[in-house]
Chain A
Amino acid sequence: MSTVFNLKGGLLSLASATAFAWGAAAIADDETIKIGVLEDQSGDFAAATNVKVNAIRLAADEINEAGGIDGQPVELVIYDTQSDNRRYQEFMRRVLQQDEVDVVFAGFSSASREAYRPIVNQFDGLAFYNNQYEGGVCDSNMIVTGAVPEQQFSTLIPWMMEKYGPNVYTIAADYNFGQISAEWVREIVEEEGGSMVGEEFIPLGVSQFSQTIQNIQQSDADFVVTLLVGAAQASYYEQAASANVDLPMASSVNVGQGYEHKRFTPPSLADMYVTTNYIEEIDTPESNAFVEKFREMFPDEPYINQEAANSYIAMNLYKQMVERAGTTDHDAIRAVLAEGDVCFDGPSGRTCLDPESQHMSHTIYLARVNDDHSISFPKVWDDIEPYWLGDAGCDLTVNDPSAQYTPSNPPPAN
């Protein structure tokens, strides 16, 4: 019931968001380290992203209590980007030019990241993208802490094919995340000797799925890969369950991000398998301690997802890099990154930044949604590195193409 009557939490976060933004405009203090936070606190993606902002607040609180970064307190400058790509561009300009932040934590959807990335490049800023995504961004101005396809799909898809069979049907959101993720699924399925029996791209905002459900039933799929994004598309699960589509599902986005298993009535998500680097059900001492202190500070938080953990880890990685560099200067931070041992023992275990791609290694958990929507973990892959970009030729210690690559469009050979 706490999500329904979340009056206090909602008002509080609204009030504090305004306070932070106002505070930033008023105080021009060189003694603080300013961190811009651009996340969707309202709009289509809010359910998955409010928690990221709270994770950053938690980390900032902890860092400040422990004496700040190198003795300097952290100050957050938070803007609500409203799930709107134009807001990302507007606020990214504002934090970099007007608020003069030292680093930005920004973005949920890949469309929003691609909307703000040119602006970060233009002003030579530094941005953390703390989201799982379709991979391929080779850009020295970006540090990515979310999981990528070689971590999520190269574990998930072969495991699913072995357990359920080689025929795969993909339904994906029709924009860069869904398109590129689907390409990854296609590649891995073919590599493993399976076949794609269907692939369908759904425009964002579509909420009625009868025809899609019928297409899936007419194919002889062994399992369905769902790469649906946003609140409207999540209606698929309820509709598929009520049409009795009795197929296992595999996903890189659900559960770990939008906690659909908590929001939907069982058993609409039953038999879904998700590879994620963190969700609150992970039962390790580190995870339990994280959940406990999170809930202490934000008792009304509906769910602590992988993005929350990644944002929390990112804050601590940034602290470490600034302290080792002795400055917030980007070149100095990149020099620290290039040493290759920027690691943090956080809620999801040990994670390290890869200097070539500036992506992060992860322990990957295979989460299964049971009939009663509880979570079990049939498999854990330790320390999966973000190998693809580096193998394909992206090396940010050498050059900076500021581009996004895909399996069908890899970096140029050098």
Chain B
Amino acid sequence: MELLAAAFAMFYQFGDAFAFLVIASAGLAVIFGMMRIINLAHGEFIMCGAYVTAVAARTGLPLALAILLGAITAGLIGMLIERLVIRHLYHRPLDSIIATWGISLIATQGVLIVLGSTMAGIGTPLGSVEVGGQTFSAYRLVLMACAGALLIGLYLLFYHTRFGVLARATIQKPETARALGIDTRRVYGLTFGLGAALAGLAGGLYAPTMTMVPTMGATFIVESFVTVVVGGADIFVGAAPAAAILAVIKATLTAGYGQLFGQIGLLVAVIVVIRLLPGGLSAWIKKTGR
């Protein structure tokens, strides 16, 4: 029984780290993997989702709907920004980094000016579960389930829907896709919107557990970039296994040596991967799989 409790505690820490890495990085991975745009405003889409969720939840909307609303709002804003800014920079990756960074600064300062330096939180639902004398937040288990559902959902979307086929065709051979009558501009817009919505979803899901401040996106950004860099361009054979590996590194080091070493571990992992596997895990898996 004691062993079971210890195993659960270990699984919980791993799952918690895994969920955070997957949920935080999914939007970034979609936009980078599909479109080769490095979106430095990722954290601000997360913040946007969190703020909308908190406001909606406080007006009485059920939390699940509030989170959905946060994701949709971030997605719509993402599509708007794609139309106004990103669309003109598809062949200028460095410029798109600067542009999205600018958007992130404007968003953070704008929210600070309009809404003030902090906002009241909404409280974590569901209470706690007890396993072997220790109590764990039940909502964190929901987050783990969400991370799994998110990966499955994205897989189904990209490999079993018409949008997925069009998106993959557009990304692989844009000219051919256009010649076949695909409205590639619309596909780009929708894909960027999807990435932004996933970021908004991350914000919404974590809003009940965090302090609401305009800079809150920054606490996600390091770990999501680490995941995407280690994973490489493909979210399924890249970001997902990367999140699993990094979660093991982080959970083990944090348990053994504290939070600081957990963070150091992530950064060392990135350095090692960039040195040994410049294309990330996905390039390596695809190459060795062939």
B98 an interface residue at 8 Å Cβ cutoff?
A: no
Encoded as 1 (CB less than 8 Å from any A CB) or 0, chain B from 200 to 220 comes to 000000001111110110110
B114 an interface residue at 8 Å Cβ cutoff?
A: yes
Minimal beta-carbon separation of B108 from chain A (angstroms): 8
B172 an interface residue at 8 Å Cβ cutoff?
A: no
Taking CB atoms, residues of chain B closer than 8 Å to A206 are 219, 259, 263
Contact of A239 among B17, B209, B255 (CB under 8 A): B209
Taking CB atoms, residues of chain B closer than 8 Å to A208 are 16-17, 20
Q: How many of A's residues come within 8 Å of B, CB to CB?
A: 50
Minimal beta-carbon separation of B30 from chain A (angstroms): 22
Complex alpha-carbon distance, A243 and B9, angstroms: 13
Given A239-B137, A244-B135, verify A262-B211 contact (CB < 8 Å): no
CB <8 Å contact, B259 and A265: no
Taking CB atoms, residues of chain B closer than 8 Å to A302 are 116, 118
CB <8 Å contact, A214 and B208: no
Complex alpha-carbon distance, A4 and B117, angstroms: 9
Taking CB atoms, residues of chain B closer than 8 Å to A217 are 134-135
CB <8 Å contact, A268 and B117: no
Scan residues 223-250 of chain A and give those whose CB is less than 8 A from a CB of chain B: 231-232, 234-235, 238-239, 241-246
Q: Which residue of A lies closest to B220 (CB)?
A: A207
9-residue interface stretch from B61-69, B119-127, B224-232: B119-127
Complex alpha-carbon distance, A44 and B12, angstroms: 29
Taking CB atoms, residues of chain B closer than 8 Å to A239 are 124, 137, 209
A6 an interface residue at 8 Å Cβ cutoff?
A: yes
Complex alpha-carbon distance, A246 and B134, angstroms: 11
Encoded as 1 (CB less than 8 Å from any A CB) or 0, chain B from 1 to 25 comes to 0000000010011001100100000
B140 an interface residue at 8 Å Cβ cutoff?
A: yes
Q: Which residue of B lies closest to A241 (CB)?
A: B124
A7 an interface residue at 8 Å Cβ cutoff?
A: yes
Encoded as 1 (CB less than 8 Å from any B CB) or 0, chain A from 198 to 212 comes to 001111011110111
Taking CB atoms, residues of chain B closer than 8 Å to A43 are 215
Complex alpha-carbon distance, A246 and B135, angstroms: 10
Q: Which residue of B lies closest to A205 (CB)?
A: B219
Given A231-B213, A231-B215, A232-B219, verify A4-B259 contact (CB < 8 Å): no
Given A47-B213, A211-B13, A243-B137, verify A265-B113 contact (CB < 8 Å): no
Complex alpha-carbon distance, A266 and B120, angstroms: 11
CB <8 Å contact, B258 and A200: yes
Taking CB atoms, residues of chain A closer than 8 Å to B211 are 207, 231-232, 234-235, 238, 263
CB <8 Å contact, A214 and B113: no
Given A4-B115, A205-B219, A263-B121, verify A210-B13 contact (CB < 8 Å): yes
Minimal beta-carbon separation of B126 from chain A (angstroms): 7
Taking CB atoms, residues of chain B closer than 8 Å to A11 are 113
Given A42-B112, A202-B259, verify A4-B55 contact (CB < 8 Å): yes
Scan residues 174-223 of chain A and give those whose CB is less than 8 A from a CB of chain B: 174, 200-203, 205-208, 210-214, 217-218
Complex alpha-carbon distance, A46 and B258, angstroms: 28
Given A208-B16, A211-B254, A265-B121, verify A242-B139 contact (CB < 8 Å): yes
Taking CB atoms, residues of chain B closer than 8 Å to A263 are 118-121, 211-212
CB <8 Å contact, B219 and A207: yes
B196 an interface residue at 8 Å Cβ cutoff?
A: no
Complex alpha-carbon distance, A132 and B124, angstroms: 30
Q: Which residue of A lies closest to B210 (CB)?
A: A235
Q: How many of B's residues come within 8 Å of A, CB to CB?
A: 50
Contact of A203 among B130, B134, B213, B263 (CB under 8 A): B263
B180 an interface residue at 8 Å Cβ cutoff?
A: no
A14 an interface residue at 8 Å Cβ cutoff?
A: yes
CB <8 Å contact, A47 and B118: yes
Contact of B140 among A5, A7, A47, A210 (CB under 8 A): A210
Scan residues 102-149 of chain B and give those whose CB is less than 8 A from a CB of chain A: 109, 112-124, 126-128, 130, 134-140
Complex alpha-carbon distance, A369 and B116, angstroms: 24
Taking CB atoms, residues of chain A closer than 8 Å to B123 are 238, 264-266, 268
Complex alpha-carbon distance, A245 and B251, angstroms: 20
B276 an interface residue at 8 Å Cβ cutoff?
A: no
CB <8 Å contact, A3 and B116: yes
A71 an interface residue at 8 Å Cβ cutoff?
A: no
CB <8 Å contact, A231 and B254: no
Contact of A3 among B118, B127, B136 (CB under 8 A): B118
CB <8 Å contact, B259 and A10: no
Q: Which residue of B lies closest to A40 (CB)?
A: B117
Encoded as 1 (CB less than 8 Å from any A CB) or 0, chain B from 273 to 286 comes to 00000000000000
From A7, A14, A47, A207, residue with most partner B Cβ within 10 Å: A207
Q: Which residue of B lies closest to A10 (CB)?
A: B113
Q: Which residue of B lies closest to A44 (CB)?
A: B215
Minimal beta-carbon separation of A328 from chain B (angstroms): 33
CB <8 Å contact, A235 and B112: no
Minimal beta-carbon separation of B50 from chain A (angstroms): 11
Complex alpha-carbon distance, A5 and B112, angstroms: 11
A9 an interface residue at 8 Å Cβ cutoff?
A: yes
Minimal beta-carbon separation of B136 from chain A (angstroms): 6
Scan residues 169-188 of chain B and give those whose CB is less than 8 A from a CB of chain A: none
Complex alpha-carbon distance, A11 and B137, angstroms: 39
Minimal beta-carbon separation of A265 from chain B (angstroms): 3
CB <8 Å contact, A264 and B118: no
Taking CB atoms, residues of chain B closer than 8 Å to A5 are 115
A348 an interface residue at 8 Å Cβ cutoff?
A: no
Complex alpha-carbon distance, A217 and B216, angstroms: 27
CB <8 Å contact, B120 and A238: no
Minimal beta-carbon separation of A232 from chain B (angstroms): 5
Minimal beta-carbon separation of A21 from chain B (angstroms): 17
Contact of B9 among A214, A234, A245, A266 (CB under 8 A): A214
Q: Which residue numbers of A lie inside 8 Å of B, CB to CB?
A: 3-7, 9-11, 14, 42-44, 46-47, 50, 174, 200-203, 205-208, 210-214, 217-218, 231-232, 234-235, 238-239, 241-246, 262-266, 268, 302
User: What are 29 of the A-B contact pairs (CB < 8 Å)?
Assistant: A4-B119, A6-B115, A10-B115, A11-B113, A44-B213, A200-B258, A201-B260, A203-B263, A206-B219, A208-B16, A210-B140, A212-B259, A214-B12, A214-B136, A232-B218, A232-B219, A238-B121, A238-B209, A239-B124, A239-B137, A242-B126, A242-B209, A243-B140, A244-B127, A244-B135, A245-B135, A263-B119, A265-B121, A268-B123
